[in-house]
Amino acid sequence: MLVKENQNNNVDNLIIKSDPLVKKMINLLMKDGKRSKAEKVLFKCFQLLDKNYPGQSMRIFYLGVIAVKQDIAVRLKPKPKKRRNKQSFDVYLPRIISPTRGLGLGIRSILKTSKERSQQSFLPLWESLSQELLQASQNKGEVVLKKYSVSKLALSNKRRVHFSIRR
C-alpha cells in the first residue's frame, strides 16, 4: 500500500511528495503560489480514491495519467497575409512531442476537465479530480476522448507532416 493513513486520517505526505509525477501535478494544480492548498486538494483526492479502492490510489493516479499522455500534437498553420480568401479551410500540422511535454499536456487536460466538472455539478475539486482520474484509468471520460480526437485529427492530416519540419 503506497498511501498510508495516520491517526489523523491524513495521507502520509512523505511517501507521496517525493514522487516526481505528483510534484508535477501539484505544480500544475497550484494557483497564485498557494502550494499548500494544491497539496491538500491532491491529498484529499488520494484519500477519496483510497477510501473507495483501498491501496490503489497511486496505481489509479499513474494509470490515469499514462492513459491521457499525448504523443502527437496538432497546430494550425498560419494563413498567408496576402491571399486570405483563397484558402477558406484551416490547415492542421501534426507534430510529435516529447514524452515530458506529453505528460504535462495530459495532466493539464485532466485538471481542466475536473475544474469544469466541479463548476457544473457543484462538487469539490478533489471529488471531481478523483472521478476524472478513475475514468481516465479505465480509458473512459472526456480526457481520453479528447486525446483520441487529437490523434485522429493528426492522422487525417498526416500528409502535411513535412510542413512542420523546420529547416
Q: What CATH number should be reported for the domain holding residue 31? A: 1.10.455.10
| pLDDT mean over 10-23 | 70
Is residue 1 assigned to a domain?
A: no
Q: Structure pTM? A: 0.80
Our measurement of the distance from residue 109's CA atom to the centroid of its chain's CA atoms, rounded to an integer in Å, reads 4
**Spatial distance between the Cα atoms of 32 and 44, rounded to a whole number of angstroms:** 20
Number of domains composing the chain: 1
**Three cell numbers at 19?**
514522487
Tell me 80's DSSP state: P
The fraction of the chain above a pLDDT of 70, given in percent, is 79
Backbone φ and ψ of 72, nearest 5° = -125, 135
Q: What angle do CA 78, 82, 85 make, to 5 degrees?
A: 80
Is residue 115 assigned to a domain?
A: yes
Q: Which neighbouring-strand residues pair with 75?
A: 93
User: For the segment 65-124, what is each residue's pLDDT rounded down to a tens digit?
Assistant: 999 998 888 888 776 666 656 656 777 888 888 999 999 999 999 999 999 999 898 889
**Three cell numbers at 134?**
478513475
Is residue 5 assigned to a domain?
A: no
What mean pLDDT is reported for the chain? 83
Structural domain including 157 reads 13-164
Our measurement of the distance from residue 76's CA atom to the centroid of its chain's CA atoms, rounded to an integer in Å, reads 21
User: For the segment 26-40, what is each residue's pLDDT rounded down to a tens digit?
Assistant: 999 988 889 899 999
Q: Using a CB cutoff of 8 Å and minimum separation of 24, what contacts does 99-106 make?
A: 99/69, 102/69, 102/70, 102/71, 103/21, 103/24, 103/65, 103/69, 104/24, 104/28, 105/69, 105/70, 105/73, 106/65, 106/68, 106/69, 106/70, 106/143, 106/147
CA-to-CA separations, 147 to 21, 66, 105, 140, in angstroms, rounded: 19, 12, 10, 11
Is residue 125 assigned to a domain?
A: yes
